[in-house]
Structure 1
């Protein structure tokens, strides 16, 4: 189904076409293209880090980060219950075991619960900045120091949030703030980790091209054409983030006080505008009829078949997954577009009887 107001839409009105055309004209379309390094340097500099390692996806970025840190069979990595499943999958890909921690009211990992899950096998913690809300990194870094843990930040939805852990991993999928269509990037200040991730993403190819590969590695490389698109996006990050901040504030105003709708806590950067809604499925159907696309919240990791645990319903992550959804969020969204979306939501709750609304901004 095609929507006039999709959940997301990439902003490709910068120099993307120009840079891709240059890349094709120069013949540098593979991962060896100089534009890959230009993108890595620009993205790292924007986030205040030294090294960037571009790769094929956000999932690949997480996998490279964990492998570079030596995570493997027998190890445990603390992962949020409320996240996209690839956060957990990346841990499983290394042979390690993800250990899940429930979320707080802001959907981020509840830092007060982390220490209870640390065991002698715990080697790392993976905070996820869910929907653009930065985790309590000060507390996480204190725990990491106390228990000698490594920190891999899943920043797939938090472009613009400055990393503080060992490695931060970003997704460049088409619905992300900065996109290459597909792609990912790891940021770190550690040159050794950067070299290891770059080595692993390129099949651990020896410098002399002898075809003697000493380590199990991956083909997780980014193409020159992807990097060309991503580089043009980075050049406009200030503008993109500012526009998204305006969109967030508009929604906050337009949606305030609607019975049945709960606004969520503010975001450090806006990825998708998330709300909790009574009669969610009926609301989604009503909005779809008005050509407005919505998306659901993540399911808890303990509800996923790979990691199933019957207690998932007792978790905050389980409760939030039952009534949460995203509204259209993209830089081309106009004030009139947002007024239309908000108007349709008000219309739905004016027509349909709803239960007691919970307090605005979480709860």
Structure 2
């Protein structure tokens, strides 16, 4: 079904076409093209970080980060219950065990519950900045220091949140704040980690001989065409974030007084406008009939078939998953669009 008001839509209003055309005219379409390095440099600079390593997706970024930190069989990675499954899969791909930590009222990992999950096998804490809310990174970094752990930030949904962990991983999928269609990038201040991730993403070709491969690696490269789009997106990021901040404010103002709707805590940057609703599925069907697309919250990791754990009914993450959803949230959403969407929600609940 095509929606007049989709949940997400890319914002391609900068120099995307110009940069892609330049890449095609120059004949540079592979991962060896100059736009890849330009994007890596610009995105790292924007975030105040020394090194960027572009790759094929947010999922491969997480996998590269864990692999560069030496995560493998027998290791444990602490991961939020409330997240997209790619966070857990990155650990599983490497033979490690994801250990899940329940969320707090802001949907982010509950820092007060991390310490009880740390064991001698724990190697990495992987917080996720859910829907654009920054985790309590000061407390997480202190725990990591106390237990000699590394920190990988899953920043897929939070472009504009400045990273502080060992490695931060961003998604550039089409529904993210900025996009290259498909793609991702790892940021780090450690030159050795950057070098290792770049080596691993490109099949670990060896300087002694192009086709001598001394370790198992991946083809996780970003193309020059994707990087051309991503570079143009970075140039607009401040404007994009400011526009989304206004979208968040308008939703807050229009929805805060509706009985049956519970607003969520403010976001540091707006990826998706999330909220909780009584009679959620009835509301979503009503909105769909009005051509308004919505999406439900993530299912907790302990409800996933690959990680099924009988503790799931007791989790905060489960409680939020039962009535949480998000509204159309993209940079091109107009004030008129939001007036219509809010009006339909108010109509459903009989709010004046």
**With structure 2 as the length reference, what TM-score do the two structures score?**
0.99
Deviations 1:9-31 (A, max 9, x none): 00001110000000001000000
Q: Distance in 2 between matches of 1:263 and 1:210?
A: 55
Structure 1 residue runs of 5 or longer lacking an equivalent are 352-363
Q: Which residue does the alignment assign to 1:177?
A: 177
Residue in structure 2 matched with residue 354 of structure 1 by the alignment: none
Map 1:2-81 → 2, pairs under 5 A:
2-81=2-81
Q: Which residue number corresponds to residue 312 of structure 2?
A: 312
Corresponding residue number in structure 2 for 1:160: 160
- Structure 1 Cα separation of the partners of residues 48 and 209 of structure 2: 34
Matching residue of 1:226: 226
**SS in structure 2 of the partner of residue 310 of structure 1:** coil
Q: Which residue of 2 aligns with 1:201?
A: 201
Structure 1 residue runs of 4 or more that deviate by more than 2 Å after TM superposition = 207-210
For structure 2, the 5+ residue unaligned runs are: none
In terms of mean alpha carbon deviation, does 150-159 or 199-208 score higher? 199-208
1:358 paired residue number = none
Residue 221 of structure 2 aligns to a residue whose secondary structure is coil
Partner of 1:298: 298
Q: Deviations for 1:133-163, whole angstroms, at most 9, x for unmatched residues?
A: 0000000000000000000000000001000
Question: Distance between the aligned counterparts of 2:210 and 2:53, measured in 1?
Answer: 24
1:313 and 1:12 mapped to 2: Cα distance?
42
Give secondary structure in 2 for the equivalent of 1:332. Answer: coil
Task: Determine the C-alpha separation between the residues in 2 that align with 1:249 and 1:205.
Answer: 49
Which secondary structure does the structure 2 equivalent of 1:13 belong to?
Answer: coil
DSSP 3-state at the match of 2:288: helix
Structure 2 CA distance for aligned equivalents of residues 60 and 2 of structure 1: 30
The farther-off stretch of 280-289 and 342-351 is 342-351
Distance 1:76 1:346 in 2: 46
Distance 1:64 1:333 in 2: 34
Q: How many Å separate the matches in 2 of 1:328 and 1:173?
A: 16
Question: Counterpart of 1:257 in 2: which secondary structure?
Answer: coil
CA distance in 2, matches of 1:208, 1:41: 28
Residue 208 (structure 1) shift: 4.0
Query: Separation in 2 of the partners of 1:154 and 1:6?
Result: 25
Q: Secondary structure at the match of 1:337?
A: helix
Instruction: Supply the distance in 1 between the matched residues of 2:21 and 2:124 (Cα, whole angstroms).
Output: 42
Q: How far apart are 1:256 and its partner, in Å?
A: 1.2
* Partner SS state of residue 78, structure 2: strand
**For the residues of structure 1 that align with 2:210 and 2:26, how far apart are their CA atoms?**
28
What does residue range 317-336 of structure 1 map to in structure 2 within 5 Å? Answer: 317-336=317-336
Superposed displacement of residue 122, structure 1: 0.4
1:235 aligns with 2:254: no
Equivalent position SS for 2:53: strand
Say which SS state the counterpart of residue 176 (structure 1) adopts: coil
SS in 1 for 2:275: strand
Per the alignment, residue 284 of structure 2 pairs with 284
Q: Secondary structure at the match of 2:170?
A: strand
> SS of the residue aligned with 1:139?
helix
Number of corresponding residues:
351
